Structure 1
Amino acid sequence: MNAGGADSMWTAVNESTMYGEELAVHRFADLPALAFVHGLEDVWSSWTPLTRFLAGRFRSYPMDMPWRTGGTYKWRTRGTAAQWIEAGLNLVPEPVSVLVAHSLGANSVLQWLAAGAVPKFDALVLLSPFYWPPSMPADWKVFDAFREDFAAVMTAGLRTRLGERAESMDPEVFAAMARKMLDGMGPQAFLALFDQYSAATQLPLAHVDVPTLVLGSPQDAGLAGERAEALKADMPCAELYLDPRLTHFCHMEQPREVAELILSFVDGHRSP
């Protein structure tokens, strides 16, 4: 029941007959699929602001990963980051054209690629990943500094989720909420992220040929200094776009800008 002779543009997802008349629901088959991987202690719906700016170009599939808010962290012993990414992608009901991943989700994608995955994506976008340069010592000083960075990033995430409420909230009340949030996460949340961060050094990513865009801020703890350049050196296909106006949670706080950057990158690497 395709119309107008443009058979390749439509596909029927459901058909029925009622009172002798045919009914059907179609979808635009020419919209490519875009999958999202959220970060630590986040939820799949956090991608909503960004998907609104991509709706006319992609069919969005936000993945609900086991490192979601309120998770038990049993996932750390039940599968590797690479295995969880593979399992999530296998649930997407059609071939993925573009994959966008944030923070720990982005690092998990890097682990998946380093494990030998050869995806047939048109593009890969990594938002605010963490990367460990080979010159950084694995000592207690770095461990303690990252623990402070972890608390700062998670607190910033709370402020983002609260939105305008955070601006009018008593600072002591907000600080108490942040402490309660961090206490609720416990050390397992920090260790999960630190494991991914410390493992991200000189990853075997040279084989990756998927056009990759790394978005973030040069002031972000995971990309500051030589971290971004270390990722670029290990992953030659990656293009870096670091802008101090972008935050760690840019997909929620600057969704229009991020959407424009994604679309420009995808269009620039689309096969003629």
Structure 2
Amino acid sequence: MSGSHVEVRLERPARGTGPVRVLALHGLAASGTSWRAYAEHAAPAVELWTAELPWGTAGPTDWSRGGDPAEWIGSALAAVPGGADVVVAHSFSAVLAVQYLAGVPRGERPRALVVVSPFHRADPADFHWDDAAHYLGIFQEVFEEALRLHAVRELAPQMRRDMAVLVRDRVGPYGWLRFWESYLRTPSVDTRGLGLPVLVVAGEDDRFAPPRDAAALAAALPQGRLELLRGCGHFPMSERPRLFADTVHRLIAEHIAAPSAAATRAS
């Protein structure tokens, strides 16, 4: 699949030598700006790259009508100069990152993975007809929550709802279907073959990706660890950025002993 709709940018250079390159992947109908609060609190060694993916706010409207969206995770990884040591992926991209990385050779994977607010179920029997209706019903609400957290100015509730409807309609039925298909595939992903440290981060108050999904994913991973963060919902990197950054830093300190050899110069 073409990588023409994937762009990466250096969001924040490392402060010092020997950086740890972190690639951050936004969720559905979001953008690289989702990670700005994390960038402010990330450890000095972190060289933070963000990706603009096809399912983002500025992406093409036809991304969802063909192909496997997980392949764009590979395009984002390939676009990072020098390669990524750690991938941090949120929500829809978290599902896709697990699916993609479980299917690629060990030498093509990052050295660690952080999945934030993931959707995951262990058994196909865990899905029911009512689940589809539920996620259709709350689809707009997650965009409202994102607008509440990330808008440059506070929006009146009705304006926020109206804007969320516009976002929902831009994603469209095909975009929702790509999300739902990816969710339905989670029980068949070879999580046992994902042989790298994986930190699973979830907000205790997440109404969209249930914390039990995060727990199920962490339990299915041979090197998985679950961190439930209090006082936040679906966007812990924005709601509790310092706590989130500290949690990611612990993973880096434990598992990335030898970071990338040279920093990337900011242009």
How high is the TM-score relative to the length of structure 1?
Answer: 0.79
Partner of 2:113: 124
| SS state at 1:165 partner | coil
Partner of 1:233: 219
1:54 Cα offset (Å): 1.8
1:225 Cα offset (Å): 6.0
Instruction: Assess if the C-alpha contact under 8 Å between 1:81 and 1:112 holds in 2.
Output: no
Instruction: Please list the CA deviations of residues 52-111 of structure 1 after superposition, one character each: whole Å capped at 9, or x if unmatched.
Output: 222621111111111111433433455423321111111101121111111111111011
Partner of 1:86: 74
Partner of 2:93: 105
Measured in 1, the distance between the counterparts of 2:31 and 2:211 equals 29
Partner of 1:145: 134
1:222 Cα offset (Å): 5.4
Partner of 1:72: 60
Measured in 2, the distance between the counterparts of 1:172 and 1:247 equals 21
Partner of 1:177: 163
The one-letter amino acid paired with 2:195 is D
| 1:158 aligned onto 2:163 | no
Instruction: Assess if the C-alpha contact under 8 Å between 1:85 and 1:108 holds in 2.
Output: yes
Partner of 1:242: 228
Partner of 1:44: 32
1:268 Cα offset (Å): 2.4
**Greater relative contact order, per chain length (Cα 8 Å cut-off, separation 6+):** 2
Structure 1 alignment gaps of length 5 or more: 1-26
Q: Compare 64-73 and 116-125 and name the one that shifted more.
A: 116-125
Q: Compare 143-152 and 86-95 and name the one that shifted more.
A: 143-152
CA distance change for structure 1 residues 83 and 237 in 2, over 3 Å: closer, same or farther? same
1:245 Cα offset (Å): 1.5
| SS state at 1:94 partner | coil
Measured in 1, the distance between the counterparts of 2:186 and 2:213 equals 10
**Identity among equivalent pairs (%):** 27
Measured in 2, the distance between the counterparts of 1:114 and 1:142 equals 26
Listed as ranges, the matches of 1:14-25 within 5 Å are none
How high is the TM-score relative to the length of structure 2?
Answer: 0.81
Instruction: Please list the CA deviations of residues 197-248 of structure 1 after superposition, one character each: whole Å capped at 9, or x if unmatched.
Output: 1111242110222111010124424542642332123212110011232321
Partner of 2:193: 207
Measured in 1, the distance between the counterparts of 2:55 and 2:160 equals 24
| SS state at 1:129 partner | coil
| 1:263 aligned onto 2:238 | no
Instruction: Assess if the C-alpha contact under 8 Å between 2:114 and 2:248 holds in 1.
Output: yes
Instruction: Assess if the C-alpha contact under 8 Å between 2:211 and 2:228 holds in 1.
Output: no
Instruction: Assess if the C-alpha contact under 8 Å between 2:140 and 2:165 holds in 1.
Output: no
| SS state at 1:125 partner | strand
1:29 Cα offset (Å): 4.6
Instruction: Assess if the C-alpha contact under 8 Å between 1:202 and 1:234 holds in 2.
Output: no
Structure 2 alignment gaps of length 5 or more: 1-14, 259-267
RMSD: 2.4
Tell me the number of residue pairs that the alignment of Structure 1 and Structure 2 aligns: 243
Partner of 1:254: 240
Measured in 1, the distance between the counterparts of 2:105 and 2:120 equals 19
Listed as ranges, the matches of 1:56-71 within 5 Å are 56-71=44-59
The one-letter amino acid paired with 2:213 is R
User: Could you tell me which of 134, 153, 161 is aligned with 2:123?
Assistant: 134
Measured in 1, the distance between the counterparts of 2:87 and 2:211 equals 26
Partner of 1:4: none
Q: Compare 219-228 and 90-99 and name the one that shifted more.
A: 219-228
